[in-house]
A and B are shown apart, each in its own frame.
Chain A
Amino acid sequence: MTLKNLRPLVVALGTLAIVAACGGGGGGGTTAKETLTIGGFNFSESSILADMYGQALKAKGYTIAYKLNLGSREVVAPALKTGQVDLYPGYAATELEFFNNKKGEAGGDPQANVTKLNTYLSAFGAEALTPSPASDENAFAVTKALATKDNLVKISDLKPVASQLVLGGPPECPTRPYCELGLKSVYGLTFKDFKSLDAGGSLTKGALEKGDIDVGLVFSSDGAVAAKNFVVLQDDKQLEAADNIVPLIRTNKANSEVTSLLNSIDAKLTLVDLTAMNKSADIDKEDPATLATNWLKQHGFSATT
């Protein structure tokens, strides 16, 4: 009873506080260039990419706000829809299957994926730009010991033993076509149990190492996998479609300078670069922002943090 009466007052006071707090900081300068809010998923590769986009744009005079480690796509995509976020680094096939409600349209051609994706994004004033040659798909890894014991080289090899194995991945994995849902429909795998961890991050890799899970979701650009002696199972039935990196941006912020800058960054991005940066961030605990700055400068872009 108490809280209900308070809400209008708290909302009013809270709003006042926010306005007061923001009034000092976010007013922006006298430049005519836009402000962009860049969002990122809750894994380091996303932070690195978001930093790359943001620092390059800032060097051209744009005002950048970051909302990094926002969460999974379930959190970030609605933020793009409502305009809370103007730009985020997406993955072509997974974005498509998310916005089309898992229709199963994504394939191995990144440009085709992006074209279809745009038909959905335009409905709420957003668009996807040109996909990068670099891609990062979901992958499934086991420890070397398990791979040897059960003779596991490709995902299909899991079929006879899956019912005794525990799968680990991000909380959204059971509902994702490129995760547990797809493993069931494409490979016919039913696991003994699913453990809710993170998106190919330290919780999942730690659990795999310790044996709390047997099969873990990792990313194909993960730099730690080799270092930890995991075996990534081959996707022999092509479950994972072309998840090339592509910026998703609200159309009203996508002027020609912004789009050409973002496209030229993505054009120069390679899987080798991504894997190396991911390793630095995940194992060496380097700052995503620093890695982004270094990459930009090495590839001829200006960067402002």
Chain B
Amino acid sequence: MSFLVKVSAWFLDPVHWQGSAGVPNRLLEHVLMAGAATLVAALIALPIGIALGHFGRGGNAAINISNVGRAIPSFAVLVLAFEVVGIGAPPAFIALTLLAIPPIVTNSYVGVKEVDPDVKDAARGMGMRERKILFAVELPLAVPLIMAGIRTSAVQVVATATLAALVAWGGLGRYIIDGFAQQDYVQMFAGAVLVAALAVATELALGAVEFMLVPRGLRESGAAPAGPPQAKAA
């Protein structure tokens, strides 16, 4: 028990809350990096997945990209990025963005593709043009799956950003890596608590957003579809 008491003392020590090595700064670094990478990945992946799903093409590729993505160790992607661009934020950002793309592509593809063909038919019957069908019908119905994909990516990015401390970046992983190197297990454990808390908070927060974005009719009928299984790479 005294070990956990020391960990609590670490958190209560004001020194650990100040400056560039303090919790607020590291947390901010971590959140900003994760947010930026997920956002850029979404900007790249959403148009691809939605387009493929809408036109019903490239299905195999869209689904397999996630299987392939799951097979590539995120640790390797990070070190490969380091070999190509060096240390610090750049390789972290590149690696994280690349890792975030597959789940969003797959989920948005499946989300749009799986919209009930009858609904699309009805929309066409009502005289809706293709683009209106996409934006007014398909996308709202695909939102649960798309959000699930973004959530999967975000959690994965938060996790891999922990590893990015290895290429001399900052973030909350810094406490784990430095604590380990200095054999300061209190610092290491405290870092793990912070990282785990952030990951769980991300999962829960985005889960709540997902829940709220499901169109009311779908939510009440309980017909919101479940997506492909969550990936975990780090």
Q: Interface on A for B, CB 8 Å cutoff?
A: 71-72, 74-75, 78, 170-172, 175, 193, 195-197, 203, 206-207, 210, 212
Contacts and interface: CB of A to CB of B under 8 A. Distances in A.
A23 to B, nearest CB: 30
Given A175-B182, A207-B168, A196 B87 contact: no
Interface in B24-45: none
Interface of B: 20, 86-88, 165, 167-168, 174, 177-178, 180-183
Nearest to A213: B168
B181 A212 contact: no
Contacts of B177: 171, 196
A175 B181 CA distance: 11
Contacts of B181: 71-72, 74-75, 170-172, 196
Contacts of A74: 181-183
Contacts of A203: 87, 167-168
- Scoring B20, B165, B168 by chain A CB atoms within 10 A of each residue's CB, the highest score goes to B168
Given A171-B178, A196-B174, A207 B87 contact: yes
Contacts of A206: 86-87
Nearest to A198: B168
A46 B168 CA distance: 22
Main secondary structure of the interface of A (DSSP, over half): mixed
Given A71-B181, A171-B178, A196-B174, 17 more contacts: A71-B180, A72-B182, A74-B181, A74-B182, A74-B183, A170-B181, A171-B181, A172-B181, A172-B182, A196-B168, A196-B178, A197-B87, A197-B168, A203-B168, A206-B87, A207-B88, A207-B168
Contacts of B165: 196
Contacts of B183: 72, 74-75, 78
Contacts of A207: 87-88, 168
Contacts of B168: 195-197, 203, 207, 212
Nearest to B181: A171
A171 B182 contact: yes
Nearest to A175: B182
Nearest to B165: A196
Contacts of A170: 181
Contacts of A196: 165, 168, 174, 177-178, 181
A195 B181 CA distance: 14
B170 to A, nearest CB: 9
Given A195-B168, A196-B177, A203-B168, A210 B86 contact: yes
A94 B86 CA distance: 31
24 contacts: A71-B181, A72-B181, A72-B182, A74-B181, A74-B182, A75-B181, A75-B183, A170-B181, A171-B177, A171-B178, A171-B181, A172-B181, A172-B182, A175-B182, A195-B168, A196-B174, A196-B181, A197-B87, A197-B168, A203-B168, A206-B87, A207-B87, A210-B86, A212-B88
B178 A210 contact: no
Contacts of A172: 181-182
A172 B187 CA distance: 13
A25 B167 CA distance: 35
B166 to A, nearest CB: 9
Nearest to B182: A172
A193 B20 contact: yes
B62 to A, nearest CB: 35
A168 to B, nearest CB: 8
B50 to A, nearest CB: 38
A172 B177 CA distance: 11
Contacts of A197: 87, 168
Contacts of B87: 197, 203, 206-207, 210, 212
